[in-house]
Structure 1
């Protein structure tokens, strides 16, 4: 759910980034065929890669094993524990987001939002930046608009966003 709301803003900026020698690529752990089908449903054209079977998401601390979760050994947003999704069992918005995503809370909580930047120089890839949790809000296209609206994000009622093709479906 998070990525879909964030990704709705990617199509329009990809060309601008490319003309500044920047490539935007989304990465998810789902199998590529599933990502491509969802991408087509949403009408997205930006590059989207699958890290299924690889360590990319784990290496950048946005995905966690079930064992690490049980042991309370999750390092996310530059600290160990203390994040709302670390307190299992979780109720409220986290449980609602898990249900909206078609999974249970522990599984949902093992994947979290993050953004990383890399530079390629002389054939070497350098990791130059990462941000997590609320640090990702800056690329979430609707947030700057809502943050300036009279009621702001109006988050008090729990999960409030949907896949863009789900609005009006009850």
Structure 2
């Protein structure tokens, strides 16, 4: 880490005020992007999806509970995996406590993985998480929303991740977030999805690290997140 210059309080204040103007411009730009995101067109879902929960099978509509909006975190955890994805777990450490705040804004939240419910329940207990987490096994939800790349994909459509066609996936599952809305007649619409670094804004640890002099302090080559572990493994 290269240390910045040491200056007087007055000099620091001048530099901080200059940075504040950049931060304000960034906030205004972010607000405009949020408006554009809210104005995106939507796609009517015609396929029905059944999920496994701790209480039995439910449909996608049930995951909304009494809300009109649903946020889904696509958590990488497959049937053959020994544990949930380390990076996804890094994100999930920010999820506890979200539900009541989102519910107040008419929004439900759920994580979805292809691992069976027994594996999800066990790993969730190990991590000490209380957010809702369900299994998409054996439906095509993950593949349909471009986070599942399995040998038995349901059709010959090209594989896509982050809105680009890919010849091969790095793993059989990738992470992302998708958003859905329910109409007054019960119809469900896909309104938004984001993948890769589009999820950075939802990671509390990264948000705080970005305020520090060292920042994330990750390597510029290779896997920048190689340092991340499950929170009980540090």
Calculate the aligned-residue CA RMSD, in Å: 2.0
* Counterpart position of 1:165: 232
Quote how far apart the aligned CAs of 1:67 are.
Answer: 7.0
**Structure 1, unaligned runs of 5 or more:** 87-105
Of the structure 1 ranges 152-161 and 10-19, higher mean CA displacement relative to structure 2 is found in 152-161
Equivalent residues of 1:113, 1:136 under 8 A apart: no
Partners of 1:2 and 1:28 in 2: CA distance = 14
Moved more, 120-129 or 58-67: 58-67
- Helix, strand or coil for the counterpart of 1:117? strand
Structure 1 distance, partners of 2:143, 2:199, is 17
Secondary structure at 1:66 match in 2: coil
Instruction: Report deviation, 1:81.
Output: 2.5
Q: Any idea what the Cα deviations from partners look like across 1:50-107, whole Å, max 9, x if unmatched?
A: 0111100001001112377xx9x4310010138xx84xxxxxxxxxxxxxxxxxxx6x
TM-score, normalised via structure 2 length:
0.56
**Counterparts of 1:52 and 1:149, CA distance in 2:** 41
Judge conservation of contact 2:209–2:215 (CA < 8 Å) in 1: yes
C-alpha separation in 2, matches of 1:151 and 1:63:
35
Partner of 1:120: 182
Aligned equivalents of 2:143, 2:152: Cα separation in 1: 13
For 1:138, the equivalent position in structure 2 comes to: 201
Alpha-carbon contact 2:97-2:131 (below 8 Å) kept: no
Q: Which moved more, 1:34-43 or 1:150-159?
A: 150-159
Q: How many residues are treated as equivalent by the alignment?
A: 141
Q: How many angstroms apart in 2 are the aligned matches of 1:18 and 1:36?
A: 23
TM-score (norm 1): 0.76
Partner Cα distance (2:191, 2:159) in 1: 22
Instruction: Flag structure 2 segments of 5+ consecutive residues without an equivalent.
Output: 1-85
